[in-house]
Amino acid sequence: MKIFVDTANVDYIREVNDMGVICGVTTNPSLIAKEGRNFNEVIAEIASIVDGPISGEVKATTVDAEGMIFQKSSTRTRVSFETGMYQLGGHALFLSSKDLQIGRGEPVQDTARVLSRYLDGIMIRTFEQKEVEDLAKFGSIPVINGLTDFCHPCQVLADLMTIREKFGSFTGLKMCYIGDGNNMANSLIVGGLKVGMNVAVATPDGYKPDGEVLEFTKGYADKFALETDPFMAASGADIVITDTWTSMGEEAEKEERKKVFKDYQVNKQLLAAANAGAMVQHCLPAYRGQEITEEVFEEHADEIFNEAENRLHAQKAVMVKLMKKD
């Protein structure tokens, strides 16, 4: 049984947390207002006291509108952002490349300026990182990166949330990633190092993470390792992560990639090199029998689907942070 306290009284939270009887805290703007305190300050103070989950139950506003631009199709990104926006009291507009003039050659900068007149925020899932950056440069509203070929930051926020839920903190943890040096590898490296974890990545020659990301790791030389041997990367790991060998847009390389990555599968033998009880994560969709075996996937299904659920919660936090009106 897990016990949560529903309050905004920080002194009381500190008292019961010191007793070791609570798992987490739920609160809301009304409770915080009764304490006569600033919402963000109270949430930050609670987070400094409690290691477990904290729910602030915040509504962004009842009139926010977010445009969701999808150049790449998705299950989790669309549903989690759309549901999250609804739960926050706003409205999400699904915009495919067929719905926008951007798909017919209108400059991104013009699209950014137009949408800034209509919307409170934009989430975009596309191929080129520059498209996201140009939307942010020329628009006047928040732009959320839902995925590009370069990075997948919202997914990694959910991954880090799931890791923290399991282990309580990031201190002393080793995270390893096995597979293609793709957008997930890039974002996991940056996210993992920024929160203080040791990070090891194993990719075949010719499939390394982006050079810009590898340059970033030089500031964390004692905490990062790039390997070609997946067993070296997995050795002593607390978290083992993988992703599809063939990302969207690389379908023509699928058969060749199966040959290149055949030794980079997350299976029982690889997990034996990790620490006992290591967590397994996969951002989905998973191709069982390729990057991960059916056996390992099902044994760690709860962790993987907690990770998928946390896309919703992490992205709601991002939207509140960027779009909440005082």
Residues annotated as catalytic (active site), given as ranges: 125, 152, 155, 243, 283, 311
Cα–Cα distance for residue pair 300/306, rounded to 1 Å: 10
Q: Which residues partner with 200 through β-bridges? A: 176, 225
Block residue for tokens 């309050």: 7
Q: In what order do the strands lie in the sheet with 91-96?
A: 91-96, 65-70, 121-125, 143-147
Q: Could you tell me which residues come within 8 angstroms of residue 73 by beta carbon, excluding any fewer than 6 positions away?
A: 248
Is residue 235 classed exposed, middle or buried when 0-12, 13-18 and 19+ CB atoms within 10 A define those classes?
middle
The dihedral formed by the CA atoms of 196, 198, 201 and 202, expressed in degrees to the nearest 10:
-170
Looking at the chain, how many residues does it have? Answer: 326
